[in-house]
Amino acid sequence: MKLDTNRHQDGLLEAFDEFGARFSYVYEALNREASHALQPAQKVVWVERDKRKVFLGRYSDRNLQKRYEDMTAPEERESMTFTRMVEKLRREFRLNSNTTLANFRFRKLQQLPDESFDVFAIRVRREAAGCDFKCDSEICHIRDVMIRDQLIFGTSDNGIREKALAEQWKLTEIIGRGKSIEASTKSAAAIKEEPIAEINRTGRPGKYSKKGRRWKEEKEKSKGKEKEKFKECAHCSSTWCSDYKKCPARKKTCFDCMKKGHFRGAARRRTEEMQGK
């Protein structure tokens, strides 16, 4: 993870801001701690300087290090904090950035198909950092107005767009209420699909439903097959014998009638069945 300044000539300021945000999480994960002998105020200064050293030493390319050397004096580098370094670099990148191109890219921002409205709002606000949205007034709101308008123009949710236009929402309102509308729309879509399954379970019986005629017919057939399956052989009395050529009684002699082709028990059972009829 290093910031390659050569790859972001057109949008270096935006790339630097994004990289700086990611670096803050990376630095926290390093778990670097100041000496316990330092006072709380001294620890804050130590962290700021250490963060600057880690940023420049591990996560910056040589071009960024040269920029830092050119805009700072040697005597101030040792006491330079991370916050002051970021301010100086952002000021340098803003002078070299093409604000017209940044404004053009900002106007083309659209919500992606799989992107939530919340994530889209974060992306729009981040891209606005590199644009030239300002005026001479001390209470200038042009930046908030431009971000709000781009959220309205670029969102893929017509419900959010219609509400924002009808009620003339401000930036804070469109971000807060936009997320609520998106969540309620997804919930309503999920509830709308639910009754369909209920109807299939409680409505007209299906082909193999216990209430259907087809299910009863299949059940009667299965009973008949079960009877055929467990029917005893007329020659050997076995329920597993279904082929006379392979029947073990085919070449045996009955002790009662002295005839070949069946066992003694099979002959008795056949006699009993005939007498019963």
Q: pLDDT value at position 274? A: 61
pLDDT of residue 4 exceeding 60, the answer is: yes
**Reported confidence tier of residue 209, pLDDT bands at 50, 70, 90:** low
Token couple for 35? 């000496």
Backbone angles phi, psi at 64, to 5 degrees: -70, -35
The structure tokens 């600057």 sit at: 52
How much is the pTM? Answer: 0.48
Token couple for 225? 């097959």
Q: Which of 115, 127, 48 is nearest to 85 (CA)?
A: 48
Residues 83-115: tens digit of each pLDDT = 999 999 888 877 766 677 778 888 999 999 989
**Reported confidence tier of residue 139, pLDDT bands at 50, 70, 90:** confident
Instruction: Give CA–CA dist 171/119, Å, rounded.
Output: 15
What domains does the chain contain, in order, with CATH numbers? 5-97 (no CATH), 100-196 (1.10.1200), 231-276 (no CATH)
Q: pLDDT value at position 267? A: 63
Q: What is the per-residue DSSP string for 56-114?
A: HHHSB-HHHHHHHHHHS-HHHHTT--HHHHHHHHHHHHHHHS-HHHHHHHHHT----TT
Q: Which residue has the higher pLDDT, 164 or 127?
A: 164
Q: pLDDT value at position 268? A: 67
Q: Other C-beta atoms within 10 Å of 77: how many?
A: 13
> What mean pLDDT, rounded, does the chain reach?
79
**Reported confidence tier of residue 67, pLDDT bands at 50, 70, 90:** confident
For residues 20-41, give the mean pLDDT: 90
Instruction: Give CA–CA dist 55/157, Å, rounded.
Output: 40
Q: pLDDT value at position 150? A: 93
Lowest mean pLDDT among 128-132, 157-161, 218-222: 218-222
Q: pLDDT value at position 190? A: 78
Q: pLDDT value at position 204? A: 59
